[in-house]
Amino acid sequence: MAENGGVACKCVPSKRSLYGFVEVRFAERRKARRNLRNVSVIPLFNSTSKWRSVAGNSRILSMDAREKSRSMLLESSKHKKVPIFVMMPIDAFCIDASGSPRIRKIKAITVSLKALKLAGVHGIAVEVWWGIVERFSPSEYNWSLYEELFKIITDMGLKLHVAFSFHSTKRSSNGKGGVSLPMWIIEIGNSNKDIYYRDRNGLSDYEYLTLGVDQIPLFCGRTALQCYEDFMFSFVNNFNSYIGSVIEEISVGLGPCGELRYPAHPSGDGRWKFPGIGEFQCYDKYMMEDLKMAAHKEGQPQWGDRGPHNAGCYNSLPSGVPFFEEGQESFLSNYGRFFLEWYSGRLISHADAILAKAADALKNCQVNKQTSVILVAKIGGVYWWYQTFSHAAELTAGYYNTALRDGYDPVATMLSRHGAALHVSCLEMMDGESPPAYYCSPEGLLQQMRTVSKRKLIQLIGRNTNERFDKTGFWQIHANCYHPQAEAKDECRFVNGTNNQEQLTSLPLQHFF
pLDDT of 126: 93
Q: Is residue 188 part of a domain?
A: no
- For residues 412-425, average pLDDT: 91
Reported as a single tens digit per residue, the pLDDT across 379-400 is: 999 999 999 999 999 999 999 9
Q: For residue 56, give the amino acid letter.
A: G
Q: Is residue 356 part of a domain?
A: yes
- For residues 48-67, average pLDDT: 33
pLDDT of 67: 37
Reported as a single tens digit per residue, the pLDDT across 155-182 is: 999 999 899 999 998 765 544 568 999 9
The model's confidence at residue 217, banded by pLDDT at 50, 70 and 90, is very high
pLDDT of 216: 98
Bridge-based pairing of strands 159-165 and 123-129 is parallel
Distance CA 491, CA 404 (A): 31
List the CATH number of the domain containing 489.
3.20.20.80
Q: Is residue 142 part of a domain?
A: yes
Reported as a single tens digit per residue, the pLDDT across 176-191 is: 568 999 999 999 999 9
Bridge-based pairing of strands 204-209 and 123-129 is unpaired
Residue 469's domain comprises 84-183+208-216+223-269+348-511
Q: Is residue 259 part of a domain?
A: yes
Reported as a single tens digit per residue, the pLDDT across 424-439 is: 888 889 999 999 999 9
Q: Is residue 468 part of a domain?
A: yes
Q: Is residue 116 part of a domain?
A: yes
Residue that wins the pLDDT comparison between 480 and 111: 111
Q: Is the pLDDT of residue 33 over 50?
A: no
Mean pLDDT over all residues of the chain? Answer: 79
- For residues 89-103, average pLDDT: 82
Residue that wins the pLDDT comparison between 2 and 388: 388
Bridge-based pairing of strands 374-379 and 204-209 is unpaired
Q: Is residue 175 part of a domain?
A: yes
Query: Do 427 and 359 touch, CB atoms closer than 8 A?
Result: no
Reported as a single tens digit per residue, the pLDDT across 469-490 is: 788 887 887 777 655 543 333 3
Poorest-pLDDT segment among 59-68, 280-289, 299-308, 392-401:
59-68
pLDDT of 234: 97
pLDDT of 368: 58
Distance CA 401, CA 395 (A): 7
The model's confidence at residue 459, banded by pLDDT at 50, 70 and 90, is confident
User: What total number of domains does the chain contain?
Assistant: 1
Query: Do 19 and 89 touch, CB atoms closer than 8 A?
Result: no
Distance CA 461, CA 421 (A): 7
Look at the alpha carbons of 337, 338, 340, 346 in this order and tell me if their dihedral is positive or negative.
positive
Q: Is the pLDDT of residue 146 over 70?
A: yes
Q: Is residue 292 part of a domain?
A: no
Cβ within 8 Å of residue 497, ≥6 positions away? 81, 120
